[in-house]
Amino acid sequence: MKYVLQFLKIPEAGWSALSADEVHHRTIRLKRKNYFSKRWQAEFITNLVCPEEGKVLFNAVGRSQRALEDCFSVLSTGQKMAVEWFACDVHEPFMAAKKKHLPNAKICVDRFHLVQLLNKAFDVVRKAEFKKAESQFEKNMLLPTRRFVMVSREVKTPKEVKMLAKLRGLNESIHNAMLLVENFHATLECKTVGGFRKALVEWYQLVREAKLAPLRKFAKTIRNYRREIENYIQSRLTTAVSEGLNNKIKALKRAGGGYKTATYFRNKILQRCGYLNHRSIPT
C-alpha cells in the first residue's frame, strides 16, 4: 500500500461530494468443511469516487467498513472536512465508515438502489399472484419476462398500455402494487424536503390500505433511512458516476481475462480510472 501511495497523484483541492461503491473482483471456490458450508465466495473491491472529477481516488479489498476506511486514509484532514455530501447504497458498513471519517458530510442514499429494492418487493407480489392466476392471459402477463414492463417508467407502447390496463382490471393486488411503484417514483421527484415528507405520508397510507406484505416491509426500510433519502432530495447526489466507472472496470476486467490477485486489479483500476502514474509502477 505504501509503495502505491508514493506514485498516487491525488489533487490537493477539497471536494464537496464523494461516493463509494463496490465492484466484483472474482468468485473463489471454498474448501467445504461439511455439506451445509458455503461452496463459493464472491470477492469485491471498494472504490472511493469523486463525482466532480469522475475519478477513483483510492480502493481497497472487500466491501466492509475497514475497506472504506482504508480508502479514506489517502485524504488529508482538510479534504475530509470539506466533504458535505456522501452517496452510497443501503450498506451499513459504508455509513459507519463515513460517520467516523467525514464529520461534516451528510449521507445520501442512492436512488437507483432504493428503486432496486422496490422492484424486488414488487417481484415478490408478482410471483405470489402468478401462482394464484386462473386465466391464461393473467399467467402470461405475470411471467418473469414481463416484470420489467410493469415497473418501467419509460413510455410504453399502446399495445402494452392496453394489456396492462386489462391486467389491472383482473388482478387487484397487481393493480395496487403498480400504483405504489408509480407513486413512490413521484415521491422521489419532489423538489423540496417539505413536499417529500408530505408525499411520503400519503404513500405510507396507501401501503397500509393495500395490505401487501412485501411492500410494507419495503416501507419499513424507507422509514429507517428517511433522513438519508431527504439528503438526496436536497443534493440530488447519486452513485451514478461510481456505477459508470464500475462498467468501465468490468470491461477492463474482461479485456484482461480476469485478475488473479486483488493487488494487480486495484492498481489497474487506479491506473485507468484514477490518479496512478502508470509510467512509474508496474500494473
CA torsion through residues 82, 84, 88, 93, sign: positive
Q: What span, in angstroms and rounded, lies between the C-alpha atoms of 91 and 144?
A: 27
User: How does the average pLDDT of the chain come out, rounded?
Assistant: 91
Q: Exposed, middle or buried, 281 (CB in 10 Å: 0-12/13-18/19+)?
A: middle
| Residue 151: predicted pLDDT | 86
pLDDT at position 3 over 60: no
Residue linked to cell 500500500: 1
Q: In the sheet where 106-109 sits, what is the strand order? A: 55-61, 40-50, 17-29, 85-88, 106-109
End-to-end Cα separation, the chain, in angstroms:
13
pLDDT value, residue 251: 93
pLDDT tens digits, 84-112: 999 999 999 999 999 999 999 999 999 99
Q: Would you say 232 and 108 are in contact if contact means Cβ atoms under 8 Å apart?
A: yes
Indicate the pLDDT class of residue 38, thresholds 50, 70 and 90: confident
pLDDT at 155: 66
229-257 burial, b if ≥16 CB within 10 A, otherwise e?
A: bbbbbebebbbebbbebbeebeebbeeee
User: pLDDT digits over 139-168, tens only?
Assistant: 999 998 888 888 888 767 888 889 889 999
* Contact assessment for residue 44 and residue 27, using Cβ atoms and an 8 Å cutoff: no
Residue 280 has what pLDDT? 54
Given this model, what pLDDT does residue 210 score? 95
C-alpha cell at 107: 449521507
Mean pLDDT of 57-73: 95
How far apart, in whole angstroms, are the C-alpha atoms of residue 169 and residue 111? 30
Q: Can you tell me the mean pLDDT for 192-218?
A: 96
Q: Which pLDDT score is estimated for 226?
A: 96
- Express each pLDDT in 258-278 by its tens digit: 888 899 999 999 999 998 876
Secondary structure in 3-state letters for 218-267:
HHHHHHHCHHHHHHHHHHCCCCHHHHHHHHHHHHHHHHCCCCCCHHHHHH
Residue with cell 450498506: 91
Instruction: Specify the residue for cell string 468501465.
Output: 248
Alpha-carbon span 100 to 196, nearest angstrom: 29
Query: Residue 38 contacts by C-beta under 8 Å, 6 or more apart in sequence?
Result: 30, 32
CA-based torsion, 273, 63, 228, 83: positive or negative: negative
Residue 244 corresponds to which cell in the numbers above?
459508470
281 pLDDT more than 70: no
Q: Which value, in Å, is the radius of gyration of the alpha carbons in the chain?
A: 22
